Amino acid sequence: MNAYIEILRPWNALMAVITILLMALIAGIFNFNVFLAGIVVFIATGAGNAINDYFDYKIDAINRPKRPIPSGRIKVKIAGIYSFLLFVAAIIIGFAIGFLPGIIVLFSSLLMIYYAHTLKSKCLIGNLSISFLTGLSFVLGGVVVNEVLISIYLGLFAFFMTMAREIVKDMEDMGGDKIEGATTLPIVYGKRVSSILAGVFMILASIGSPILYFLGIFNIFYLVLLLPAVLLFLKGAISIFKDYSTENTKKISKHIKIGMAIVFVAFAVGSPFLVILIA
């Protein structure tokens, strides 16, 4: 894969695009603004990943040496300029959609830069920031298709899932983070406390997810498809309570990611608009 594409972490950025498409599917609105919003979140998320690699290249040299900067495929300075230009492009397109979407993209971009520079290494604050940004992408989609309240519900659920994965990732990356003097949750309070908190967020995501059906946002197909994700989250919570070794946290991190993908599919299939289309 080309290094300039790889540094965007395109699959990660596409997950953000899916939040926009899900809100469009729920609202039954597919217009040019939705298309532009999808482009915006892809570019902005990619820029956030690039600026994160720019500031974290020393840590990545230990934890992820094959990434574009530590592997020498992209120079550090070039990565910084590249991410800046991407942020500018995303903000311009955001304001082209409308004033409020533009403000959301501008705020998100500034938060991503501040996160990469300062917040990422702060105990729990960095986790809260990235989880908030994940939920905010749903809200951006909700603003574009005029379904703000529903987008807040979905954003909150995404927040719980992302918090669980962020904490687990910090447990996984303790080696490099310690060398760079980071003050992440597992470094400050230990893996035991971190495992409990990660497990709690997995449980919250599990028991909270069916509420979206009872609120009338999704149909019964949502509950059916949601079941495997709920089982993955609950299994992950039980597992991390018992074993918070690096090997197990890596496995749980992957399971959370799979669970999130299943949840997004459940969102789509459970959408009332999709049922109308099929009928």
Distance, in Å, from the CA atom of 118 to the CA atom of 110, rounded to the nearest integer, reads: 12
Work out whether the CA dihedral 24, 86, 168, 254 comes out positive or negative.
Answer: positive
Helix axis angle, 10-27 relative to 32-55, nearest 10°?
150
Look at residue 277 in the predicted model and tell me its pLDDT: 47
What is residue 271's predicted lDDT score, i.e. its pLDDT?
A: 81
Residues of the chain with pLDDT below 70 are: 1, 180, 273-279
CA distances from 22 to 28, 40, 109, 256 (A): 10, 15, 22, 19
Percent of the chain's residues with pLDDT above 90: 54
- CATH placement of domain 3-278: 1.10.600
Give pLDDT, residue 1.
Answer: 66
Full-model pTM: 0.87
pLDDT confidence of residue 57: 81
- In DSSP notation, 209-224 reads TTHHHHTTSS-HHHHH
Q: Where are the domains of the chain?
A: 3-278
pLDDT at site 274 = 58
The pLDDT score that the predictor gives to residue 61 is 76
CB 214 within 8 A of CB 248: no
**Residue 192 CB: number of other CB atoms within 10 A?**
11
